Amino acid sequence: MSIHKAGRDSTVLSDFIEVPGIGFLPVNAFVLHASQPVVVDTGLGLPDRDFVASLGSVLDPADVRWIWLTHPDRDHTGGLFDLLSAAPRARVVTTFIGAGIMSTERPLPLDRVRLVNPGQTLDVGDRTLMAFRPPLFDNPATVGFYDDRSATCFSSDCFGAPLPSPELAVADDVAVVPAEELRDGQLLWATVDSPWVQMVDQDQYLATIQPLRAMAPEAVLSTHLPPALGLTGRILETISEAPGANPFVGPDQQALERMLADFEPTGTTTPRV
């Protein structure tokens, strides 16, 4: 895991996972250094990850007051229960649906849950976080937020992109990715992660992007993209194109067998193609 600062008041805990035939997908968690520290998502749940230990190099886990769960997919919740044990004062920020989804695997302690819906706010001591639903999402419990004090938007899966190398996946700034390569990766991810976007009314979809334009964040922190610093206009234009992108069609059984035949151990958890 790579750890670095991003924008004002935020630290990124960068990880990645290799997706055969697609690329290296960033998997980030974040710390917002508010007076009541906020951890945003808790990384992968793979056996060789120790999220709490990595977080400990950024701040004492016992000081965490809020765990903002952007949605309860497994690449966002890997260290959640370990962190709840290590941070006895922390409460999980999610939605009613999010808490329900989590309860199908391991129930959240409801006295440690704070339900926040899009359009509502959360006071974290020295600032107020505004919850919103990102334009692109793959889970009905998805809630990102905007911190106006640091002008940072935490966008969950929205804006994500698989990238061609591990080094790019954990980069400090997505600006190191060539512009056309970034655009193609973001549109691919939009069709993989939010395939419904190609079936909606385009004008209604574009209207969901306008609140982010109005926010005009200096930094956009997505779970599946290196930090986007000063690139908000460009990445908003890219996701505006998502309804017209080519639909994603995944590998079939024959393609899987070819991948397995070409398998070479890489030290990661997935085959290399």
* Domains of the chain as residue ranges with CATH: 2-261 (3.60.15.10)
DSSP secondary structure letter of residue 175: G
31 within 8 A of 7, measured Cβ to Cβ: no
Among 45, 93, 44, 42, smallest CA distance to 65 is for: 93
Judged against a pLDDT cut of 60, whether residue 265 lies above it is answered with no
Judged against a pLDDT cut of 90, whether residue 245 lies above it is answered with yes
Average pLDDT rounded to a whole number, residues 13-42? 95
202 within 8 A of 182, measured Cβ to Cβ: no
Q: How far is CA 104 from the centre of its chain?
A: 22
Among 153, 166, 138, smallest CA distance to 227 is for: 153
pLDDT at 153: 97
Q: Which helix (H) or strand (E) holds 182?
A: helix 179-193
Joined together, the tokens standing for residue 60 give 């004492």
Judged against a pLDDT cut of 50, whether residue 273 lies above it is answered with no
What is the SS3 assignment for 246? coil
Q: How far is CA 132 from CA 154, 209, 210, in A?
A: 10, 11, 12
Among 268, 240, 250, smallest CA distance to 44 is for: 268
- As beta bridge partners, residue 14 has 2, 28
Q: Which helix (H) or strand (E) holds 14?
A: strand 10-19
Return phi, psi of residue 260, to 5°: -65, -35
Confidence band for 262, pLDDT divided at 50, 70 and 90: confident
pLDDT at 271: 40
Q: Tell if the pTM clears 0.95, that is, is over it.
A: no
Q: How far is CA 94 from CA 70, 101, 221, 266, 271, in A?
A: 7, 11, 18, 36, 33
Among 93, 158, 85, smallest CA distance to 121 is for: 93
pLDDT at 264: 63
Average pLDDT rounded to a whole number, residues 30-55? 95
For helices 232-240 and 202-215, give the axis angle rounded to 10 degrees: 170
Interatomic CA distance for residues 223 and 14, integer angstroms? 9
